Structure 1
Amino acid sequence: MFNKPNHLYYFFDFLSHNAWLAWQRSAKLATQHDLILEPVPVVFAGLLKAHNQVGPGEVPAKLRWMTWNVLRKSKQHGIAFAPPHTHPFNPLIALRVSCCDLPRAQRFDLITRLFSATWAESRAVSEPDVVSAVITEAGLNADALMAEAQTDAVKARLRENTDAAIAAGVFGVPTMLVRNELFWGFDDLENLENFLDGADPIGSDKEIYAGWFNLRASAQRKR
C-alpha cells in the first residue's frame, strides 16, 4: 500500500504536537527531493494498542520533558505553537474529515488548518462545531464534508490506514516512510534528509548490521 518509490508517506494524528511541527517541514523536504508528499491519517491510539504501548502523556515525567522539548523546537524553527484546548482529546472527527475525497491542494490546506487550529490556536478540534468552522474557513462545504466523514466508507478508510500503517511497522506519529525506510518523529527529519541525499551514515549494506537484530534476551521485565 505504501510502496511507491516517488512518494513520501506522512503518517499523522492531530493528537501529536511533533506531527504539527514536522508537517511544517515535510512538504519542503518532499519538493527538494522530487517526491510526492502523501499524508496518511491514522489513529494514534490504535498504534499504541497494537504495540502494547502507552502514550507520552500517560507518563508524567515524559510529558513534562516532551513539553519543554517541543517548545524549544517550535521556537528554534519559528513555528506557531500554543497549548491545545485539551489533551489528550478525541481526534476522530478531524481524522475522518482528513480522509474525505478532496482535491489534493484542498486536502493539504484543510489538514494544515486543522493542525493549526489544534496546536497554534488552542481550538477544540474534538468538537464537531469547531471542525465544521475550520472547514468553512478553508472555503469548503462543511455540511457535505461532515456528512461524508460519518459514512461507513470514510470510517473504514481511517481504520484501513491505521491497520496498513501497523503492518508497515509504524508505531508512532509522526512517521515518514520512503522507499521502505521509516523515520519517526520531528527529530528524525535530519536522518530522513541524509537518507534522501544519499548520505545515510549506515550506508546501503544493511547486512553488516544483522547481529543487532538477532540479539537474545537474558532477562525480562515483569508486567
Structure 2
Amino acid sequence: MKHITFYLDFVSPYAWLAFERLPEVLEGLSYSVEYRPVLLGALLKQHGNPGPAGIAPKRDWTYRHVTWLGHSLGLGLQMPARHPFNPLPMLRQALACSRDGSINRFVAGTLLRHVWQGGHDALDAQRLTALAAELEPQLQPDDADGARAKALLRSNTDAAAARGVFGVPAFEVDGKIFWGFDSLTMLRAYLDGDSWFGHDWDAAASVAQGLPG
C-alpha cells in the first residue's frame, strides 16, 4: 500500500477539485491518504510568486477555468462571494481537530464545502460559527487558546516547503511531489508502476538553465 500526503489550503479551488476527484482517479489502487493543511500564501511568498490572484488577467482566467471544471466534472464548484480571502481562521479550525498536523477526510471535506459550495462569503461570521459547531465533535482537547493549532500550521507549512512543495494541491508519495489538480492522472500512473518514472522523472528535470541566474 502506498501512502499519499495531500497538502491543501482551503482557499484553493483546485484543492477542492482534487479532493473530490482523488477517489475516482485512484479507484482500484491500494493507498492511504493523509491530509495536511498548509498556508498557501507562505509557500508562494517563499518563491516570490504572487499567485493567480496577483495577476489580473490570470485571476479572471483561473476563476473561469475552475468554475468550468466544476461544471464539466459535476463537482458543484461555485466561487465564494469574495476571493482571495484570508484562510487562516479555517486552517486553524481544521488543525484544532488534529494532534499531529494531519486531518481526516471528513474535516477536510467540511471545510472545503464551506468555501466552494453555495457561493457564500467564506469568512461570514455566522457561517464560521455554524462551521465550528459542525466540527466540534472532531475537536481535540487541551487547546483552548488555539496555540497548538497555530503551531501545527507553521510546522506543516515549513515541512512542506522543505519537502519541495511550492503550491497546492500537492501530493507526496515516495518522496516525489505531484503538483496541481491536473497531476492526478500522473499520480495514478506512478502508483500503477509506469516505467517512465524509473528514468524520465529525473531526466526531465535535468535540463540546463538557459537564462542568467
TM-score relative to the length of structure 2: 0.85
Counterpart residue type for residue 184 of structure 1 = W
Residues 109, 13 of structure 1: alpha-carbon distance in 2 compared, 3 angstrom cutoff: same
Counting only pairs closer than 5 Å after superposition, residues 64-79 of structure 1 correspond to structure 2 as: 64-79=60-75
* Aligned counterparts of 1:31 and 1:158: Cα–Cα separation in 2: 30
**Match 1:115 to one of 94, 112, 115:** 112
Counterpart residue type for residue 137 of structure 1 = E
* Aligned counterparts of 1:177 and 1:21: Cα–Cα separation in 2: 17
Gaps of 5+ in 1: none
- Quick check: 2:169–2:181 contact (8 Å CA) kept in 1? yes
Question: Structure 1, residues 116-161: CA drift from partner, whole Å, max 9, x if none?
Answer: 11111233333554233123235x359x679947422210100000
Counting only pairs closer than 5 Å after superposition, residues 56-135 of structure 1 correspond to structure 2 as: 56-101=52-97, 107-127=104-124, 129-135=126-132
Fraction of identical pairs, as percent = 30
Gaps of 5+ in 2: none
Counterpart residue type for residue 188 of structure 1 = S
Shift of residue 100, structure 1, vs aligned partner: 2.3
1:204 paired with 2:198, answer yes
The 4+ residue runs of structure 1 with deviation greater than 6 A are: 144-147
Matching residue of 2:134:
137
* Aligned counterparts of 1:24 and 1:33: Cα–Cα separation in 2: 16
TM-score relative to the length of structure 1: 0.82
Residues 92, 207 of structure 1: alpha-carbon distance in 2 compared, 3 angstrom cutoff: closer
- Quick check: 1:30–1:36 contact (8 Å CA) kept in 2? no
Shift of residue 218, structure 1, vs aligned partner: 4.1
1:18 paired with 2:14, answer yes
Matching residue of 2:181:
186
**Match 1:169 to one of 164, 171, 191:** 164
Residues 133, 148 of structure 1: alpha-carbon distance in 2 compared, 3 angstrom cutoff: farther
- Quick check: 1:98–1:110 contact (8 Å CA) kept in 2? yes
Question: RMSD in angstroms over aligned alpha carbons?
Answer: 2.8
